Amino acid sequence: MGDMTPSERLAANAATEGGFDRDTTYVEDRITADAPPGGPTGERVGQMVWPVEPGRYRLVAARACPWAHRAVIVRRLLGLEEIISLGLAHPLHGEPSWNFDLDEGGVDPVLGIHRLREAYEARIPDYPRGITVPALVDVPTGQLVTNDFPQITLDLSTEWREHHRDGAPELYPEALRPEIDEISRWIYTEVNNGVYRAGFAADQEHYDEAYDRLWAALDRLEEHLATRRYLVGEQITEADVRLYPTLVRFDPVYHGHFKCNRSTLREMPVLSAYLRDLFQTPGFGDSTDFEQIKQHYYGVHHEVNPTGVVPQGPDMGWLLEPHGREALGGTPFGRGSAPGPVPAGERVPAEHTPLPVG
């Protein structure tokens, strides 16, 4: 491996996709600080820019979804709760859409819609692809702005900077962006999407390949994080935010439901300590709803779990045990500070988390 950076070493030997193909076509509009007021401006859907305006947009997420979980974490770490409102979809959904059955009357109180599909089709009639979260919706028009989840979190860090809270961390520092981007691509291919390749493998050959590839990646992470507290640099960055949702879902979902069962994550000394460290950091554990996570995976993936039975376990209280990662140096927020308390209307129910809620 020679003089490769840590992220280059991790990215080495990344194989091509096989067995499970994810649709990665999104509405790629962006909300940018230099966009003209009013907006959007541009030539066509997917290439338009919308202006940064506090209160104009609603982030629609689902606590069950790992891709949406990233956006919820970043919004909280940066203190954007009063700037971009949050709508939470029900963990169970049918083919048509994510819906708002968690809200009174099954209607989002800000957007006034029952299904997220309504926002998609307000923008693109007869929208032909899957309805995904996270999604940013323009409140005045009720139209989807973007569902490009990798770009959403980067733009929250860079384009909304004027509205970050005092002490907000630098999740995407300019000097580290090449390394963050490289390791993030590898994490997506090998870990975030790797568990899905195993879980939705159509035959034994593809499953075996996906299983081996995933565990090779987790073993590399175990080695990488043995001597450093975070993936890149000396504080939490976008890379850690992208890895966390997969790791925290591993034992309750991916280990059994997706047959990623060489061991539990709890049995891996480095990754389990790294996960405990992040879980105990404000913004991470306090946005994690284990009950909704299990309801979604076990209740929606009928091809994997035909009965729809949701397991009662496992006990995730181990995430509150000491992690000892402080000895490796670094601090969670660098020169910044922790976010304040979770807004009352956004708290995870006490019975859905081992964390004390208050």
Tokens of 333: 């927020």
Q: What is the pLDDT of residue 192?
A: 98
Tokens of 257: 């439901």
Between CA 197 and CA 202 the distance in angstroms is 9
Domain containing 123 equals: 30-163
Q: Among 196, 211, 230, 244, which one carries the catalytic annotation?
A: 196
Q: What is the pLDDT of residue 97?
A: 82
Which of 116, 142, 163 delimits the end of a domain?
163
Q: Is 114 helix (H, G, I), strand (E, B) or coil?
A: coil
67 carries a ligand binding annotation: no
Cβ atoms 99, 108 nearer than 8 A: no
Q: What is the pLDDT of residue 45?
A: 67
Same structural domain, 335 and 186:
yes
Is 65 a residue of the active site?
Answer: yes
Same structural domain, 109 and 212:
no
Same structural domain, 117 and 210:
no
Q: What is the pLDDT of residue 39?
A: 81
Same structural domain, 255 and 281:
yes
Same structural domain, 243 and 336:
yes
Which residues in the chain land under pLDDT 50? 1-18
Q: What is the pLDDT of residue 356?
A: 76
Q: What is the pLDDT of residue 6?
A: 43
Same structural domain, 210 and 318:
yes
Residue 114 domain flag = yes
pTM for the model: 0.93
Residue 168 domain flag = no
Is 196 a residue of the active site?
Answer: yes
Q: Among 65, 172, 207, 211, which one carries the catalytic annotation?
A: 65
Q: What is the pLDDT of residue 42?
A: 79
Domain count for the chain = 2
Same structural domain, 182 and 295:
yes
Same structural domain, 203 and 344:
yes
Same structural domain, 151 and 233:
no
Exposed/middle/buried for residue 236 (C-beta within 10 Å: 0-12, 13-18, 19+):
buried
Type of residue at 41: T
Which of 163, 194, 209 delimits the end of a domain?
163
